[in-house]
Amino acid sequence: MAMNRPPLSFITLSFHSVLLFGVGCLCESVPGMYVLGDSLVDIGNNNYLPLALAKANLPYNGVDFPTGIATGRFSNGKNTADFLAEKVGVPSPPPYLSLPSIFGKLSSSNAMVTGVSFASGGAGILNVTEELFIQSISLTKQVGYYSLVHEQLVQQLGSDEAQAHLSKSLFVVVIGSNDLFNYFNKNSKASKEYTPQQFVDLMVSTLKGLLKRLHGLGSRKFVITGVASIGCCPAQRKDSATGDCNVEINTWSMKYNDGLKALLHELKTELSDIHYSYCETYDVLNNLVQHPETYGILEIKKACCGCGSNLKAEFPCTPISTYCSNRKNHLFWDLYHPTEHTSSLFADSIYSGSQQMTFPMNVEQLVNV
């Protein structure tokens, strides 16, 4: 008796789908994750920038990473991007600058299908952050790099399948802190050219243009974080005799976030096929600062790894630094960045946070749209 067989085209498509999307419901929902941003989610791009001042390729960074060595993450272990990738069922996206190329052009890479990280320590929405960090990959340049990845995906998968793949993928955007750090730096050129409100408005309008460009290159699902209460990091607290947060920079972080939320609402009105999850990381960090004991945190002011008697925030984490024995009870790893434990808490809020913290939906809901 002859068996009914599916047509060859169906078999080929099904096999291709397994290769492309993987096995299991999570991977089918999120075939890839593309990360744009700064040092909060950089997983090693700055290792490839010879002039970059913001690097995390030396101990004691990575002391709690599975390999036990520094990877370029500004953390004692994993960062928020790593934890979010785990939650949605994809590998941590590799650094863009680590991808193989031939004669300056990207060569075919399966890694690009499951995602790429363009994030760079010191990066900003605007290009002004290079005043502080000499060399980084600005958001504009990151989007430019993504356009090359998009081109390669179209060549690998074909136009229709590439668009289907990207429409289900997540585009994670974590940026803005360095723009504000730079503006409020005492030697800032930007503060001489713009009022704080003008500068924040410029950040918002520039970001809107870049998000629209990503949409034009297939992006449909965005995960976007606001700027946290960055005035409460050790580098900002050390300038206060009592170790208080920098109120001015926190105020303008909130004003930027207000502009960002308005931008996202406008974007959804203009481009109805966009879906997004916005996380109010300002409130997330504030909650950790105000109720640290709820999360097993004992130290909210001092860096775990660093140098100097003033909150260990005079220099970054390097081999000549000292570091705390229990990283889980510190809010901050170094003078700017959270510990691995804190990053995991951020990722929890982004992925499954309540509507007070993530709206109009969290990432767990976004993947099912």
Instruction: Confirm if 162 and 150 have CB atoms less than 8 A apart.
Output: yes
Residue 354: active-site member: no
Instruction: Using the structure block, give the residue that is written with the tokens 């243009």.
Output: 209
Q: Return the closest-CA partner of residue 142 out of 210, 90, 209.
A: 210
Catalytic one of 39, 120, 253, 321: 39
Catalytic one of 150, 165, 330, 337: 337
Beta bridge partners, 278, equal 224, 359
Query: How many angstroms separate the CA atoms of 294 and 51, rounded?
Result: 41
Q: Return the closest-CA partner of residue 122 out of 213, 185, 77.
A: 185
Backbone angles phi and psi of 299, in degrees to 5: -120, 115
Q: What are 68's two structure tokens?
A: 């036990």
Residue 337: active-site member: yes
Query: What residues contact 148, with CB distance under 8 A and at least 6 apart?
Result: 105, 106
Residue 169: active-site member: no
**In angstroms, how far is CA 215 from the centroid of its own chain?**
18
Query: How many angstroms separate the CA atoms of 231 and 264, rounded?
Result: 24
**In angstroms, how far is CA 22 from the centroid of its own chain?**
24
Instruction: Using the structure block, give the residue that is written with the tokens 């789908």.
Output: 17
Catalytic one of 38, 82, 283, 334: 334
Q: Which residues are catalytic?
A: 39, 334, 337
